[in-house]
């Protein structure tokens, strides 16, 4: 039985073949693309690193860098993928693929806030740290500013709108947290960020109510009335005066 297992293992290795990194850059790149298509990202990463070294100074080397970033991302190495893209952006500022590099950087950071754990815990994107979202927004903004006619720009704009809403909801989430714990000054400060920086976000409605309610708790009627006036002027059908600060959604693992 042991002999059969060894023979089977050797046969499997022979069928797949050892990695050969001694070919031409073009041949190595074709092999790497096949590995990426097959989901063999680790093999592709090794081959693409070799291609980049062999084809230094050519468009093939630039393409290899972009594919290397993609392969690293798909293999779970997000930080390393971003590092490759940052190196590409720095060393090839006039590359014809610069718009794609910026788009990929934005997408990788965008998807970092879409992890599977949020589905398990029912945690919303707006309730997690938003640094990846901010980095994603900056990359998309640079893409749209420098390459407004890029084929990636329209999708980048849609993702930016989503990010803005998530960032605003994050500030309101924190403001709501402080309000429920009677830290009313802190609640006002975080709600003000949402109102000031994300004026077009739907989350601004609740932010204004939290400001008004917090000012009321603090015994500041003039500021309370100002916040209420702005809320009623912009959201005449608001239900927050009736329902109060929204309660958080509870996940299946929360028993309190």
Q: Which of 204, 197, 202 is closest to 227 using CA atoms?
A: 204
Q: What is the pLDDT along the chain (256 residues), one digit of tens a residue?
A: 344 333 333 334 443 444 556 689 999 999 999 999 999 999 999 999 999 999 999 999 999 999 999 999 999 999 999 999 999 999 999 999 999 999 999 999 998 654 433 433 344 544 455 788 899 999 999 999 999 999 999 999 999 999 999 899 999 999 999 999 999 999 999 999 999 999 989 999 999 999 999 999 999 999 999 999 999 999 999 999 988 887 655 443 333 3
Global pTM reads 0.74
Per the CB < 8 A criterion, the answer to whether 33 and 43 are in contact is no
Q: Where are the domains of the chain?
A: 22-77
Burial class (CB in 10 A: 0-12, 13-18, 19+), 80: middle
Residue with tokens 């794609």: 100
Q: CA-to-CA distance for 166 and 177, rounded, in angstroms? A: 16
Q: CA-to-CA distance for 167 and 191, rounded, in angstroms? A: 12
Distance of CA 194 to the CA centre of its chain: 19
Phi, then psi, of 114 in degrees rounded to 5: -120, 30
């Amino acid at each position: 039985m042991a002999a059969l297992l060894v023979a089977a293992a050797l046969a499997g290795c022979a069928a797949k073949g050892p990695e050969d990194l001694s070919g031409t850059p073009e041949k190595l790149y074709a092999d790497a693309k096949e590995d990426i298509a097959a989901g063999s990202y680790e093999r592709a990463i090794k081959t693409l690193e070799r291609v980049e070294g062999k084809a230094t100074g050519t468009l093939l080397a630039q393409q290899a860098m972009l594919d290397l970033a993609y392969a690293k991302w798909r293999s779970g190495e997000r930080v390393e993928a971003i590092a490759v893209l940052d190196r590409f952006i720095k060393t090839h500022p006039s590359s014809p693929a610069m718009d794609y590099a910026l788009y990929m950087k934005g997408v990788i950071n965008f998807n970092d806030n879409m992890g599977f754990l949020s589905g398990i815990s029912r945690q919303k994107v707006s309730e997690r740290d938003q640094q990846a979202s901010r980095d994603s927004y900056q990359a998309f903004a640079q893409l749209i500013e420098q390459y407004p006619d890029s084929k990636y720009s329209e999708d980048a704009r849609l993702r930016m709108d989503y990010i803005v809403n998530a960032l605003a909801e994050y500030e309101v989430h924190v403001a709501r947290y402080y309000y429920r714990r009677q830290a009313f000054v802190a609640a006002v400060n975080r709600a003000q960020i949402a109102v000031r920086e994300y004026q077009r976000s739907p989350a601004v409605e609740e932010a204004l109510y939290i400001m008004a309610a917090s000012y009321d708790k603090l015994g500041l009627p003039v500021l309370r009335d100002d916040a209420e006036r702005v809320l009623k002027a912009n959201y005449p059908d608001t239900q927050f005066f009736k329902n109060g600060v929204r309660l958080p959604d509870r996940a299946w693992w929360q028993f309190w």
